[in-house]
Amino acid sequence: MSLPESHSAKRCVIIAAFNEGPNLRKLIPGLAEIVPGARVIVVDDNSPDGTPETLKQMAAANPLLSPIIRDGKRGYGGAVMTGFRRALELGATQIATMDADLSHDPNDLPQLFDALERADVAIGSRYAGGVRVINWHPARLLLSLFANRYVKTILRLKVDDATSGFRAYRRNAVEIIARTPISSQGYSFLVEILYCVHRAGCRLCEVPIIYAERREGQSKMSKRVIFEAIIRPWLLRLMPR
């Protein structure tokens, strides 16, 4: 399914990347067919695998591709925030985020954008209405399910997948995030910005997706990221309104 180009003119897709050159070469050309006319913003932390050069070459042939190369590895959260700011500068009214590792199916983007007719944030959910995850070790799946239940309970979020990075946002939600001090850099960043817009009164909805484990490259998960994910919900809950 693809979207008419006239509907995509004010849409942006943000991809935070590090050492994802081969995956981006596969992902970006397909986005032009699925969301024609949408701007694609790739934020790369100067990957040593040659991704910056790859993006520059692709951008020369694709005027809708806007690569942003940052100095050094500065974290997932900061990369997404950089992408948000660029999307706002470009006048985007609907902004999606997705991973570069091919675990998110770009064919789900149209239904995420469509869901913004009834919500301010649409979450590509692995767990709404059941579990739809492919190629994960059972222990990792259980950890993810526990993490989402943990977040849902502490922060009282009425969603089943608060840690999904596959989302679509209305401009008003991104503007709220952009003017709010965000402390997280790892994947707890996703929880923090979701809680941020929830407390601001934004409407959240979930769109069921199928999630497939990354096909190439290495996971960015670390002990530090996991520790931050454990502590951050409590810090957010105790934060004054």
pLDDT recorded at residue 4: 46
Q: State pLDDT tens for residues 17-42.
A: 999 999 999 999 999 999 999 999 99
The parent domain of residue 138 ranges over 5-238
DSSP label of 50: S
pLDDT of residue 193: 96
Please give the pLDDT value at position 3: 46
Grade residue 16 by pLDDT with cuts at 50, 70 and 90.
very high
Contact 188, 221 (CB under 8 A): no
| 77 in Cβ contact with 16 (< 8 Å) | no
Task: Tell me the pLDDT tens digit for each residue of 171-181.
Answer: 999 999 999 98
pLDDT at 10 over 70: yes
Q: What's the confidence (pLDDT) of residue 225? A: 61
Whether pTM exceeds 0.95: no
Span 194-201, mean pLDDT?
Answer: 95
When divided into structural domains, the chain yields a total of 1
The per-residue pLDDT for 217 is 46
CATH of residue 43's domain is 3.90.550.10
Q: What percent of the chain has pLDDT over 90?
A: 75
Reply yes or no on whether the pLDDT at 190 is more than 90.
yes
Q: What is the DSSP letter of 148?
A: H
Q: How far apart are CA 141 and CA 123, in angstroms?
A: 18
The predicted structure's pLDDT at residue 7:
46
Confidence category of residue 75, pLDDT binned at 50, 70, 90: confident
**Residue 127: band (very low, low, confident or very high) from pLDDT cuts 50, 70, 90:** very high
Q: What does the angle CA 147 – CA 187 – CA 146 come to, to the nearest 5 degrees?
A: 5
Distance CA 77, CA 142 (A): 24
Query: Is 6 or 45 the better-scoring residue by pLDDT?
Result: 45
